[in-house]
Amino acid sequence: MKNLNIDTILAQAGSRRDPHTGAISTPIHQCATFRHPALGESTGFDYSRTANPTRQALETAMAELEGGARGLAFSSGMAAVDNVIRLLAPKDKVLITEDLYGGTYRIFRKVYAQYGIEAVYIDTSDTAAVETALEDAAVKMLFVEVPTNPMLRVADIKALGELANKKGVIYVVDNTFLSPCSLRPLELGADIVLHSATKYLGGHNDVVAGVLVTKTQELGERLFFFQNSVGSILAPNDAWLVLRGLKTLHLRIEKQSENAQKIAEFLNTHPKVKKVFYPGLKSHKGHDVQAKQAKCFGGMVSFEIDVPALVPQILKSVKVFHFAESLGGTESLVTFPAVQTHADIEPEIRERLGVTDRLLRLSIGVEHADDLIEDLRNAIENGEV
């Protein structure tokens, strides 16, 4: 059948009805090498660094979900980022979201800078600023998070795609926070979509993985060459865990987004909360853009407490939320970006971007919203000091 709804594609992800056993769930091919039938003949698999049936099932599913030509699965989200950067050469510049994940900042600033690749940090929610920056002929890539981590700024993915395509630069969109359930960047002009599959795709806080999906086979082949050469592949068991997670992605995303909206509205009226960052709030600068380009506002909420002294109280006192890094799982998490996910960013830059000692980031899970709200209320108002 053609033109299946994404819910159906997700529920059937990896289900290929094994012709030998009839297995509905994709088998875990925990195998390093594959026997050849005869000289000059192959089953299509030789060595698992190059290709593995379980990993291939995930890669095929992700390409279908994102509407791309080629999917590639990696050992982590950062391994996927690293693979993308290998498309660049010394003296190339990349325009990149300024308030981005600290790990991505670290690899550009402290790893690839020494090889002559220059990252130019910019507010990618400011389309005019991006257009001006793209006038620099040395810019070969535009790398955008949507929404950004942790300030949840929203870039106009289609508008940026038109600019990037006009200039002939590689356009990369990190779609980790929204997933293909909500946003399909390749349809809006992106060349590459990136995911930390550890997050919403896996969805259960039990696997570390990364995914790339390319618009064209040619670009996919270039990235595959790097992946195969470096060996940054996803193990079969981990690939199976991500496939398992995909089957309920649409159900989880819907619930998480619904919960996040309620929690953002609660925090927005709390006297001890200075500011709430969530695109679902009509007061959010990127609300209209997000409503236009995405099917939901996502499950991530950041907020600024009025006094820094409340931060350790909240982190110590939450009972339903877990004080932990990462995001996108069924369990709700609270993170302190300044000392966790964004610790590698220089303090003065963090402060300018709003990643202050008063900012907390919430990954909203699938629990009942009332329980989550009550947990936050108690931690803010009556928590242990």
Q: What are the residue numbers of the active site?
A: 49, 101, 174, 199
Which tokens sit at 165?
A: 């395509």
Strand 359-363 versus strand 300-305 pairing type: antiparallel
DSSP 252-286: HHHHHHHHHHHHHHHHHT-TTEEEEE-TTSTTSTT
Minimal CA–CA distance to 159: which of 298, 289, 291?
A: 289
Q: Is 384 exposed, middle or buried (0-12, 13-18, 19+ CB in 10 A)?
A: exposed
Cα distances from 200 to residues 151, 177, 359, in angstroms, run 18, 7, 22
Contacts of 169 (CB under 8 A, 6+ apart): 95, 134, 139, 140, 141, 142
Query: How far apart are alpha carbons 322 and 74 in whole angstroms?
Result: 27
What is the residue type of 315?
A: L
Query: How far apart are alpha carbons 189 and 262 in whole angstroms?
Result: 32
Cα 56 to chain centroid, rounded: 20
